[in-house]
Amino acid sequence: MRIIVTGGAGFLGRHLCAKMLSLGHEVLCVDNLLTGRRENIEEFEQNSAFRFFLHDVTTPFVLDGPVNAVVHMACPASPPDYLRYPIQTLEVGTIGTRNMLELARAKGARFLLTSTSEVYGDPTVNPQSEEYWGNVNPIGPRSVYDESKRASEALTMAYRRAHGLDTRIARIFNTYGPWMRPDDGRVISNFVMQALQGKELTIYGDGSQTRSFCYVTDLVEGLVRMLLAESDSGAAGASGSEWGINYPVNLGNPREEKVVDVARIITQMTGSSSPVKFHPLPTDDPKLRCPDISRARRLLRWEPIVSLEEGLTAVIKYFRKCLGS
């Protein structure tokens, strides 16, 4: 396959590019490096099956030749990033998504959107299944990300209904692994970096809020299965119980952990004596986050296999290397 990966120089994009190249596909990585890094993709740049395009997807992307799939991952994803780039985040999820859907339509390509568990906002049900519509504050600071992704999903479904485009939507829950930026401000990178540097571990709120953490190789396996799965035979108006692969699928690890427990596990695993410091909970911070992955199990025969402890071992090793220790 010849695949476009937008956001391919970011954390998850980098891993997806590596996986698709290893499976023998041609990968065209489109990224404006807003939150991604050229060093993430350096090792692919000698590979003739890989090409990098420095391009902002809010401008149409023109390319000669066939394309089999567009994986639209471009979007700032960590809270400090999307709060720093609020307008860009909204634009990439609306104008950028529309441009990439148009590209897929023009090429007759399959389209996979990487959406997020943040479409569920601060949920009133736990775990969250794909049929839950969410509890999102449309005007709060986080809305730039949550609503951008909700608009991306709406656009994707509209292209499927209006143009019969072969679309897929992965709702990704917190994912971690090597190649995260040490300073990206996500829970795992924050805690590991703070523990390794002997700094206080920053906990927002009392730490009783829950998160689920998926290791990156598990997540990428789920994305690849979504991308390669056979399309549904129609059912554009199906109800939840009939939903097939062209409807949203949660990808995440159903092991739910309190944030304060994750801090303790990381402190123990790094052998750090760092204390924890509690800070006020940011506005609209979700109190619960846990995926119901029944659909991924049924449709993709997928579930995570890497334990939190195994994944953290790899991340701690990676960040130690980043710190030169």
Ligand X SMILES: NC(=O)c1ccc[n+]([C@@H]2O[C@H](COP(=O)([O-])OP(=O)(O)OC[C@H]3O[C@@H](n4cnc5c(N)ncnc54)[C@H](O)[C@@H]3O)[C@@H](O)[C@H]2O)c1
In whole angstroms, how close is the CB of 73 to ligand X at the nearest point?
4
| Cα–Cα dist 82/186, whole Å | 12
Neighbours of 140 (CB within 10 A): 15
The verdict on 36 binding ligand X (CB under 6 A) reads yes
Question: What residues are annotated to the active site?
Answer: 145
> Which region among 25-33, 99-107, 136-144, 290-298 touches ligand X (by CB under 6 A)?
25-33
CA diameter of the chain:
57
Under a CB-based contact definition with an 8 Å cutoff, are residues 249 and 300 in contact? yes
Strand 256-258 to 210-212 pairing:
antiparallel
116/210 with CB nearer ligand X:
116
The verdict on 311 binding ligand X (CB under 6 A) reads no
Kindly provide the residue ranges of all beta strands, DSSP E only, lying in 61-150, ordered along the sequence.
69-72, 110-116
The verdict on 148 binding ligand X (CB under 6 A) reads no
The verdict on 94 binding ligand X (CB under 6 A) reads no
In whole angstroms, how close is the CB of 93 to ligand X at the nearest point?
8
Under a CB-based contact definition with an 8 Å cutoff, are residues 110 and 70 in contact? yes
Name which of 41, 99, 34 is nearest 70 in CA terms.
99
> Which region among 54-62, 200-208, 259-267, 295-303 touches ligand X (by CB under 6 A)?
54-62
Cβ-count burial 31-60 (b if 16+ within 10 Å, e if not): bbebbbeeebbeebeeeeebebeebbbbee
| Cα–Cα dist 63/53, whole Å | 10
101/274 with CB nearer ligand X:
101
Q: Hey, which residues between 109 and 128 contact ligand X (CB under 6 A)?
A: 114, 116
36/127 with CB nearer ligand X:
36
84/258 with CB nearer ligand X:
84
**What is the SS3 assignment for 95?**
helix
> Which region among 122-130, 168-176, 188-196, 306-314 touches ligand X (by CB under 6 A)?
168-176
| Binding track, positions 59-88, relative to ligand X; x by CB under 6 A | --------------xxxxx---x-------
The verdict on 201 binding ligand X (CB under 6 A) reads no
Name which of 304, 144, 166 is nearest 228 in CA terms.
166
Determine the distance from the C-alpha atom of residue 249 to the mean position of all C-alpha atoms in its chain, rounded to a whole number.
13
Binding residue for ligand X, selected from 3, 35, 71, 311, defined by CB under 6 A:
35
Binding residue for ligand X, selected from 3, 4, 5, 9, defined by CB under 6 A:
9
In whole angstroms, how close is the CB of 74 to ligand X at the nearest point?
3
How far is the first Cα of the chain from the last one, in angstroms, to the nearest whole number? 40
The verdict on 33 binding ligand X (CB under 6 A) reads yes
Q: Number of residues interacting with ligand X: please give it, by CB under 6 A.
A: 29
Contact positions toward ligand X, by CB under 6 A? 6-7, 9-13, 31-36, 56-58, 73-77, 81, 92, 96, 114, 116, 172, 174-175
